[in-house]
Homo-oligomer: A and B are copies of this chain.
Amino acid sequence: MARTGRPRGFDPGEVLRSARDVFWASGYGGTSIQALVDRVGLERGSLYAAFGDKRRLYFEAVRLYWAEYEEVLRSALAQVPLLPALREVLVMPAQLGAAASDPGAPHGCMVGNTAAELVPHDAEATALVADAFDRFVGMTIEPLRQAQQRGEVSTASEPEAQARLLLVLAEGTALLARAGTDPAAAVAAIDAALAGLRADAGDR
């Protein structure tokens, strides 16, 4: 049975994606409700009716961001060889910043930005960030172990340490991309890191 009442005049998913882009570019504190209203196509009242207050909308936007990021990461982790696929994922934020030349373009990793801006004084943000980072590491350990076994990745370190290293690289690269680092330089840094992860004659 169809719901009674006046139907929605907008697609909530589309609005959430727009809100994510605004928050992504300007952060939580740097984004006013008015800025959201201007870019999202909804009046304030509708925004509040549909998504609750600013905090809830922000966290929802971050969750959407991270869900999409996990999707990209997951498909990379399924590939063989592993390191070239991971290279693509790590390099992504640098290229994203270069491609979008307008000043309001999204930059960096929303979860990392949230950590810098809202952690530790916001408990909900802290939990969200910790959960996201834990999931990154959890997803990455097993593929790394398998890559070690097949001789692609160095066995000089434990897979878990290497997984955490990949997270450090991902967040560090994203932050530098937001800061405007030259994409080519970022790629060179990533390649230097991956060269260190590769298995070679000195390994065993």
Whether B107 pairs with A30 at a CB distance below 8 angstroms is: no
Q: Count residues of A near B (Cβ-Cβ below 8 Å).
A: 61
Chain B residues near A158 (CB, 8 Å)? 188, 192
Q: Within 8 Å of chain B (Cβ to Cβ): is A202? A: yes
Which residues of the partner chain B approach A121 to less than 8 Å between Cβ atoms?
A: 25-26, 30, 103-104
Give the residues in chain B near A203, CB-CB below 8 Å.
Answer: 202
A125's nearest neighbour on chain B, judged by CB, is B179
Does A200 belong to the interface (CB within 8 Å)? yes
Query: Which B residue's beta carbon lies closest to that of A122?
Result: B30
Assess the A195–B196 pair: CB atoms within 8 A: yes
Interfacial residues of chain A within 11-27, with CB under 8 A of chain B in the complex? 25-27
* Residue A191 at the chain B interface, CB threshold 8 Å: yes
* A37-45, A49-57, A69-77, A167-175 - the one binding chain B: A167-175
A contact set with B: CB distance below 8 Å: 25-30, 103-105, 107-108, 112-113, 115-121, 126, 129-130, 133, 154, 156-158, 160-162, 164-165, 167-173, 175-176, 178-181, 185-186, 188-193, 195-197, 200-203
